[in-house]
Amino acid sequence: MISFTAADPENKQTQNPFLYRLNMAASGAGSPSRLVQYVVVRSDLVHKLSWPLGAVITQACHAATAAIHLHYSDPDTQQYLAELDSMHKVVLGAPDEAALSGLSENLTQAGVSHKLWIEQPENIPTCLALKPYPKETVQPLLRKFKLFK
């Protein structure tokens, strides 16, 4: 059980209790943490469905750009963009559509902001990207996904 000993002047605990607790426990009260944008791509698109690698990379770019756009005014996003030459992204692989959709549902339930990219007009979920977060805040939710290969 995590106790709340740190001051919460911005009332973050009640806005999103899960992320507040996880961030406070992982990074210590108020200590700065590295911001990272996670992108999760369906690996079956390349390895089983024979999509060209460039097309899959394009999907990841779309999702990452959309997540930044949707959360542009978020303080973490602004800080991430302010450090232009030291942006940090991690690209993970989801084995298939079911795993990607399940992750999206879990992130939504946990209050983690992300964009599930659905390729049109085919209506195929291809990847998702989180807005930038302190690494320790969201890494536990992504632990079962390995680096994309």
Does residue 79 form part of some domain?
yes
Residue 80 CB-half CA count within 13 A: 26
pTM of structure:
0.78
Does residue 108 form part of some domain?
yes
Does residue 27 form part of some domain?
no
Please state whether beta strands 114-119 and 124-130 pair in parallel, antiparallel, or not at all (unpaired).
antiparallel
45-48 long-range Cβ contacts below 8 angstroms, 24+ apart: 45/126
SS3 112: coil
Mean pLDDT value of segment 54-69: 97
Mean pLDDT value of segment 88-104: 98
Instruction: Report the number of distinct structural domains present in the chain.
Output: 1
Q: What are phi and psi of 72, to 5 degrees?
A: -60, -40
CATH code, domain carrying 114: 3.40.1490.10
Mean pLDDT value of segment 27-52: 86
Residue 22 structure tokens: 């996880």
Q: What domain range includes position 117?
A: 33-147
pLDDT surpassing 90 at residue 11: no
Residue 33 pLDDT: 82
